[in-house]
Chains A and B, each alone.
Chain A
């Protein structure tokens, strides 16, 4: 297990999730001969430049060929290796979707697919490079674990735990360098087990990836308005932590989900789908990216445009919450 210090946390935050992914894989390779990193010509963008030089026997560039990336990785996995295959999120999950379905889904090959720069992180590179739909696609393929780390420290955790998990995994990286720090020290992490980040009684926020930090900041803003908000980090989107969701359903009448992903098919949809079968059903407000190809610009501009910054989230959630409470009151009166 990697020892986590405050200096490392600061450094990781500064260099961002992609570079941290590369470092984490490098550390794995040094400890485990079965780990091998692959990319479809995005080794440097995966932070793997050092590994390429220091361990050329543990890095393979298959060329700009994502379908081959997945099929080839599956072949390695079939023989006992633990391949980590990284490329930008839409290229991994859409160009090679059927290879993932056949090899990771149908044949359950132990491949770790890594979607770089998901959500809006690719900024000026535009919608061609954004990860708007990757969760939706991956979660419909049976058997694939989906991890979505909240900050760079959690990227390290996810890489480590994914390597120990025997089964196909999609690791979704969101956020950019100078990434907000969610975890200031080491903590308990378990795949499939959501983490309660702060306590509150009025409503709960279920966030994933880059949005955990924004959700925490939003909860602080809301507390200034007298609201008590509980925040959860759902670093695992599949399998969904139904135990925690059941508890949330018993304790809250309103929840908001926040993700840097289309509002169709992502975390929010998963949560709402779960509650649709439950006796205790809170109102669910799904916050994410709209069902269109929006404008492009730098990352902060995009978060702002989509009203995903903490202040905007606080206003949106309080507004939805009040509406839901009014609805309840009106229903009670009638």
Chain B
């Protein structure tokens, strides 16, 4: 995809997020979903190697939404690229659906792992990355985490072993929107600090504007440093794209009314034509 097509995909995903949230008729993680749209757009629109009509393809790149509450964007992206059907997407947050507030492993829909308990995706991804190397294959494993999630000690256990084993096919992207459930990200979790921490753990670590599609694509497609896992700290805005949601933590997990939905959709349409 060209950057223009990716921009259009990001807009499409944002609209789907709003529709999903409205139709769910319940509170959903809007803020942290909207912040990671460009990251998923780059991954599914350009970077990752996968076949939309063969989700079981053995040579596919692996993706783990370690920040499991980012499902609005994740399911919307999988729907955009044709892995989750419209019918399936319409079951989001309905009783008995497999598409709920956190991912449930379902390869048929392109969902590689079950998440929801923060801090677990990176070690799972590291194991996958090691397995790929042991099989002399060349897939990449992408793990998307939140900056708040990096409070979890288990993240750093996984960071240690990934560097120790020189897993240069493992890429973690941190959606660094600066806010967690209770407010500002705690414990030295600003983007510069996160970049420095991963660097000090032996990773190649870069900081990038997480809404700049060309910058993100560049970092994600650059030749990787050998023997080092890659951490991309993506500086993002929680609630990105909807002015009254941006940096407003009331939208961390909230219900979208029809009035607010209409306002938000109008803004997105104006963006598209602006």
Say how far B110's CB is from chain A's closest CB, in angstroms.
15
Assess the B157–A103 pair: CB atoms within 8 A. no
- In the complex, whether A81 has a CB less than 8 A from a CB of chain B is yes
Taking CB atoms and an 8 Å cut-off, the chain A residues in 53-106 that contact chain B are 57, 60, 62-63, 65, 67-68, 70-81, 83, 98-99, 102-103, 106
Given A63-B157, A67-B154, A75-B131, 18 more pairs with CB closer than 8 A: A60-B130, A62-B161, A63-B164, A65-B160, A72-B127, A72-B158, A73-B127, A75-B124, A75-B128, A77-B127, A78-B127, A79-B127, A81-B131, A98-B117, A99-B123, A103-B120, A106-B114, A107-B113
Name which residue of chain B comes closest to A109, CB basis: B124
Assess the B161–A75 pair: CB atoms within 8 A. no
B residues near A107, Cβ cutoff 8 Å: 105, 113-114
Say how far B123's CB is from chain A's closest CB, in angstroms.
3
Assess the A99–B120 pair: CB atoms within 8 A. yes
Q: Which residues of B contact A (CB under 8 A)?
A: 105, 113-117, 119-120, 122-132, 134-135, 153-154, 157-158, 160-161, 164-165
Name which residue of chain B comes closest to A77, CB basis: B127
Assess the A72–B161 pair: CB atoms within 8 A. yes
Cα A73 to Cα B123 in complex, Å, equals 8
Say how far A84's CB is from chain B's closest CB, in angstroms.
13
Assess the A102–B120 pair: CB atoms within 8 A. yes
Cα A81 to Cα B123 in complex, Å, equals 15
Assess the A75–B123 pair: CB atoms within 8 A. yes
Assess the B127–A74 pair: CB atoms within 8 A. yes
Assess the A76–B130 pair: CB atoms within 8 A. yes
A residues near B114, Cβ cutoff 8 Å: 102, 106-107
A residues near B132, Cβ cutoff 8 Å: 79
A sample of 9 inter-chain contacts (CB < 8 A) reads A67-B157, A72-B161, A73-B127, A75-B124, A75-B126, A75-B128, A102-B117, A103-B124, A106-B114
Assess the A79–B165 pair: CB atoms within 8 A. no
Assess the B123–A68 pair: CB atoms within 8 A. yes
Cα A70 to Cα B154 in complex, Å, equals 11
Assess the A75–B125 pair: CB atoms within 8 A. yes
B residues near A102, Cβ cutoff 8 Å: 114-117, 120
A residues near B126, Cβ cutoff 8 Å: 68, 71-72, 75
Cα A76 to Cα B131 in complex, Å, equals 5
Q: Which listed residue, B117, B124, B129, touches A74 by the CB 8 Å rule?
A: B124
Say how far A129's CB is from chain B's closest CB, in angstroms.
20
Say how far A278's CB is from chain B's closest CB, in angstroms.
33
Query: Which of B115, B123, B125, B126 has the most chain A CB atoms inside 10 A of its CB?
Result: B123
Name which residue of chain B comes closest to A64, CB basis: B157
Q: Which listed residue, A68, A77, A80, touches B154 by the CB 8 Å rule?
A: A68
- Given the interface pairs A68-B161, A71-B154, the reply to whether A79 lies near B120 with Cβ below 8 Å is no
Assess the B165–A60 pair: CB atoms within 8 A. yes
Cα A72 to Cα B129 in complex, Å, equals 9
A residues near B120, Cβ cutoff 8 Å: 67, 71, 98-99, 102-103
Cα A97 to Cα B161 in complex, Å, equals 20
B residues near A57, Cβ cutoff 8 Å: 134
B residues near A68, Cβ cutoff 8 Å: 123, 126, 154, 157-158, 160-161
Assess the B129–A75 pair: CB atoms within 8 A. yes
Name which residue of chain A comes closest to B165, CB basis: A60
Say how far A299's CB is from chain B's closest CB, in angstroms.
31
B residues near A74, Cβ cutoff 8 Å: 123-124, 127
A residues near B131, Cβ cutoff 8 Å: 75-76, 78-81
Name which residue of chain B comes closest to A96, CB basis: B154
- Given the interface pairs A79-B131, A79-B132, the reply to whether A65 lies near B125 with Cβ below 8 Å is no
A residues near B135, Cβ cutoff 8 Å: 79
Cα A334 to Cα B130 in complex, Å, equals 70
Query: Which of B124, B130, B154 has the most chain A CB atoms inside 10 A of its CB?
Result: B124
- Given the interface pairs A67-B157, A68-B157, A72-B158, the reply to whether A81 lies near B134 with Cβ below 8 Å is yes
Assess the B123–A76 pair: CB atoms within 8 A. no
Cα A60 to Cα B130 in complex, Å, equals 10
Name which residue of chain B comes closest to A73, CB basis: B127
A residues near B122, Cβ cutoff 8 Å: 71
Assess the A75–B154 pair: CB atoms within 8 A. no
- Given the interface pairs A67-B157, A98-B117, A99-B154, the reply to whether A78 lies near B164 with Cβ below 8 Å is no
B residues near A83, Cβ cutoff 8 Å: 127
Assess the B113–A72 pair: CB atoms within 8 A. no
B residues near A79, Cβ cutoff 8 Å: 127-128, 131-132, 135
Cα A81 to Cα B165 in complex, Å, equals 17
A residues near B105, Cβ cutoff 8 Å: 106-107
Name which residue of chain A comes closest to B159, CB basis: A68
Assess the A76–B154 pair: CB atoms within 8 A. no
Name which residue of chain A comes closest to B170, CB basis: A75
Assess the A65–B161 pair: CB atoms within 8 A. yes
- Given the interface pairs A65-B161, A67-B123, the reply to whether A78 lies near B154 with Cβ below 8 Å is no
Assess the B124–A63 pair: CB atoms within 8 A. no
Cα A17 to Cα B129 in complex, Å, equals 32
